[in-house]
Structure 1
């Protein structure tokens, strides 16, 4: 399979435009058009729907893009593996939103200064989606939060190293009474990211397994922590997020209650060890707040509302 053809296909799929893809690849538009036609002829199906100003993937094209991404990523990984002299190429990093907001800016700056030849391709998603992308070779590594004992993730499916420890806090509207148990929570809605977010799962389990808002619990799905905080401040919802994120938005009036601690792991496929990844891992470990952290291990905080739920605490 011609790697160059796949690179042209991926560029057009991402840009939805032959002209923009040509600019990105340093080619002339006619060459890009010819390459796409050549690829479609080889496969025997149309990969794009041609519109006036856009090139949209057909269902077959979307399926083919998933395979093309994995092939190109593996090819790049192979190049780095056989010539491991220094970090080069592209490192595809996935992360939870909270880590991007409060933990990654400084390490990414240091990494870019140390290894300017490496291009960081950064994307965000909930933990479950990140894990699927790592296992599917769409990402090289990801910052995830996975409580121990999760049935859906085999123990040896990923190599994981803890890099950050997050103090999760329960957010309630300003003036809300003190929360000691789930029964003390008044709003019956949880502002959270889409399913697949570990923090959402922890909050949902605690609320529903402790008789708090179990009856009629609803979800208000949001796209950002700013939106989550705003919904809570408005009085309609509660939410759970890392204290490090809340500290970035001190201007919003809400009540905070310690909830539990959860480790953030840098995860990759077993055996994945390109020079770029190893350099990135080393910088994250140098930035870790775990080795010198005086916090208690995840799930055992003496001031955590989760202490009332032995099942949840023991799963972390």
Structure 2
């Protein structure tokens, strides 16, 4: 068993099967299958329960996954420690989907040009889930909605955002939550900071949603709003590409204004994360060490 075996094993777990893991690792499927079989034979246990094309972790597999995560993290730390501060190895970046779509592409393109030895893994999700992954070591850093309240984390302000209500094209002006005609909310899961803010805006006017529909992407969310299914909340930076298909309604500043912060584990800004901070144009000398308060 070597680190590459563990890397392949972890990829199969994360991707839910050999086919997607092979694509992620840029390997042929048969090679991934063979390496998993050899790993199982070497350990003398079945790491997966195979149900057709599905591969579910067995009890020994869950034990190995915990060790694999720690060993691979240690290997990355060791590589960074001996590289004299030169960014290299793997960096696991989390991001809200809106930030990944509207803000990150130019920054990541620049990052890849400057630091080709860093293997960047980008995962999108809602603020609550991403913060939990950073705190537990599953991510090196994440772009989330601030402020952040967790003594284990450092939050560095990166972007200012203005949130707006998205409704079908032609919807009358929305000056308060009582003006909303279709009171179905199109949102992400409950740990989404923007969902919590939308619910707070409605509650402030005593409006109770008739229904909540949870979606997994802004593309679907805005498409459903355009079709008249309900309303959503999104950053203005994301909405330029959808001009004409939906109506956009500004909110009072206390609900509209928010910041996107880069959250890391306190004291864990390694070379790769520091390089990302540089590319994003953040001055660490001016940035506060920790942004406290309840996540929006």
Please point out which of 37, 41, 45 is paired with 1:37: 41
Is the Cα–Cα contact under 8 Å of residues 161 and 267 in structure 1 kept in the other structure?
Answer: yes
Match for residue 278 of structure 1?
274
In structure 2, C-alpha distance between the alignment counterparts of 1:190 and 1:28, rounded to whole Å: 42
Is the Cα–Cα contact under 8 Å of residues 173 and 249 in structure 2 kept in the other structure?
Answer: no
Matched, 1:158 2:162: no
Which structure's relative contact order is higher, taking Cα pairs within 8 Å and 6+ residues apart? 2
Query: Residue 167 of structure 2 aligns to a residue in which SS?
Result: strand
In structure 1, C-alpha distance between the alignment counterparts of 2:295 and 2:132, rounded to whole Å: 22
Measured against aligned partners, the alpha-carbon deviations of 1:219-249 in whole angstroms (never above 9, x if no partner) come to 1111111211122222221111000101122
Matched, 1:228 2:221: yes
C-alpha change, 1:67 and 1:202, in structure 2 (3 Å) is farther
Match for residue 10 of structure 2?
10
Measured against aligned partners, the alpha-carbon deviations of 1:74-111 in whole angstroms (never above 9, x if no partner) come to 43123313433311111110000001111000000111
Match for residue 84 of structure 1?
84
Q: How far is 1:30 from its partner?
A: 4.7
Tell me whether 170-179 or 194-203 shows the greater mean CA deviation.
Answer: 170-179
Match for residue 290 of structure 2?
none
Q: How far is 1:194 from its partner?
A: 1.1
In structure 1, C-alpha distance between the alignment counterparts of 2:52 and 2:102, rounded to whole Å: 42
Q: How far is 1:182 from its partner?
A: 2.0
Aligned length: 280
Match for residue 204 of structure 2?
209
In structure 1, C-alpha distance between the alignment counterparts of 2:55 and 2:239, rounded to whole Å: 41
In structure 1, C-alpha distance between the alignment counterparts of 2:107 and 2:38, rounded to whole Å: 42
In structure 2, C-alpha distance between the alignment counterparts of 1:54 and 1:196, rounded to whole Å: 28
Alignment of 1:112-261 (within 5 A): 112-147=112-147, 153-154=149-150, 156-212=151-207, 214=208, 216-259=209-252, 260-261=256-257
In structure 1, C-alpha distance between the alignment counterparts of 2:175 and 2:53, rounded to whole Å: 57
In structure 2, C-alpha distance between the alignment counterparts of 1:28 and 1:254, rounded to whole Å: 48
Q: How far is 1:128 from its partner?
A: 0.6
In structure 2, C-alpha distance between the alignment counterparts of 1:70 and 1:95, rounded to whole Å: 22
Measured against aligned partners, the alpha-carbon deviations of 1:177-216 in whole angstroms (never above 9, x if no partner) come to 322222222222111111111000000011123212x2x5
In structure 2, C-alpha distance between the alignment counterparts of 1:8 and 1:274, rounded to whole Å: 24
Q: How far is 1:65 from its partner?
A: 2.6
